[in-house]
A = this chain, B = another copy of it.
Amino acid sequence: MYRLIKQEGRARRGEFETPHGTVQTPVFMNVGTQGAIKGALSARDLKEIGCQVELSNTYHLHVRPGDGLIKEMGGLHRFMTWDGPILTDSGGFQIFSLASLRKIREEGVRFNSHVAGRHLFLGPEASMRIQANLGSDIAMAFDECIKIPSPRDYVIRSCDRTVRWLERCKKALAEYNGEDGAVNPGQMLFGINQGAVFHDIRIEHMKKIADLDLPGYAIGGLAVGETHQEMYDTIEAVEEHMPADKPRYLMGVGTPGNIIESVARGVDFFDCVMPARNGRHGHLFTWDGIINIKNEKYQRDELPIDPACSCPVCRRYSRAYLRHLFKAEEMLAMRLAVGHNLFFYNSLMQRIRDSLEAGGFDSFRHTYSEILDKRI
């Protein structure tokens, strides 16, 4: 389902078919944790800002409003009125970042929910059941996101378990999507590579999960505290062992510079809460670097956020008005800022794809890899 269109070094221009449309890669997935984009963006806005794939969180939607309810409402696409591709994570990451009192067993993980302190259980079968109920196009494997640093022997044991969990995920998802009334029978499963920053463990693990011949593979457990260099080195080590005919997804990454550098190392899919979160704080991406729209100097500035940007916000509003909205704590400030930042990320990916097609990615990388992450 992945088709490689062009390659420049390790960087890949491709496309990936899903039940809700073909995704042009490299792609950034726009995060709608609870079935909605933060900052009051609507599904229609997502189209306008060039979003190709929406990403929602299994853990959050399972807790509220419940995946059973969403299935009854016709699945997540219909519930949130987004007809493009959706990827759901497995809930694993949230268990390890949000839940307290978790207990990991072979069976799965028992934990307390961050909402109302309910006791919950998530394992490979439960995660697949929830994701089948949501009916996303890409379901992510249930894995343990290992914290960095962790002892080597723990990482080995955890990775072995993640392989066994992945086998159970594959079996369970196939079963659930074969049932009558399955929300999205064409739903696909991506495996997730773990191994902290131990290259040999990562490679060993990658080889094992590649044997399961899944439609795509993610590199998980990065961007959790290691340095950027450690992250890049780990990607380089493992990428060679990822199937070339499958898309590669680097989970939770990152800054524009991180994305450019990871594309250069063969990654196709990205997601990150950063553009929305930065936007809500008035930190706005431009092709010259990151500006803080709340700065005094924008008080009487009639220019758009970025004169080089063609997003709906830059086509209409001045920096002065945006600054006023932030100072006055108007909700519209959030919407416009998040809308601009997500448009920026989506058009960053468009420009990466264009440069790959034109054979100019290396030059693009050279021009933008550092500058875009700088605060100006």
Contacts and interface: CB of A to CB of B under 8 A. Distances in A.
A317 B80 CA distance: 8
Interface residues of A, number: 40
Interface stretch (A146-154, A186-194, A204-212, A320-328): A320-328
A42 B299 CA distance: 20
Contacts of A52: none
A332 B69 contact: no
B335 A42 contact: yes
A360 interface: no
**Which of A42, A79, A300 has the most CB atoms of chain B within a 10 A radius of its CB?**
A42
A64 B327 contact: yes
Contact of A321 (B60, B73, B328, B330): B73
Nearest to A37: B332
Interface in A288-345: 299-300, 302, 316-318, 320-321, 323-325, 327-328, 330-332, 334-336
Interface of A: 34-44, 60, 64-65, 69, 72-74, 79-81, 299-300, 302, 316-318, 320-321, 323-325, 327-328, 330-332, 334-336
Contacts of A332: 36-37, 40-42
**Which of A34, A43, A60 has the most CB atoms of chain B within a 10 A radius of its CB?**
A34
B334 A79 contact: no
B39 A81 contact: no
**Which of A38, A40, A336 has the most CB atoms of chain B within a 10 A radius of its CB?**
A40
Contacts of A35: 321, 324, 328
A299 B34 CA distance: 15
A40 B79 contact: no
Given A38-B331, A40-B40, A81-B317, 20 more contacts: A34-B324, A36-B325, A39-B40, A40-B330, A40-B331, A40-B334, A41-B332, A42-B335, A64-B327, A64-B328, A65-B323, A69-B299, A69-B300, A73-B320, A73-B321, A79-B320, A81-B316, A81-B321, A331-B334, A335-B335
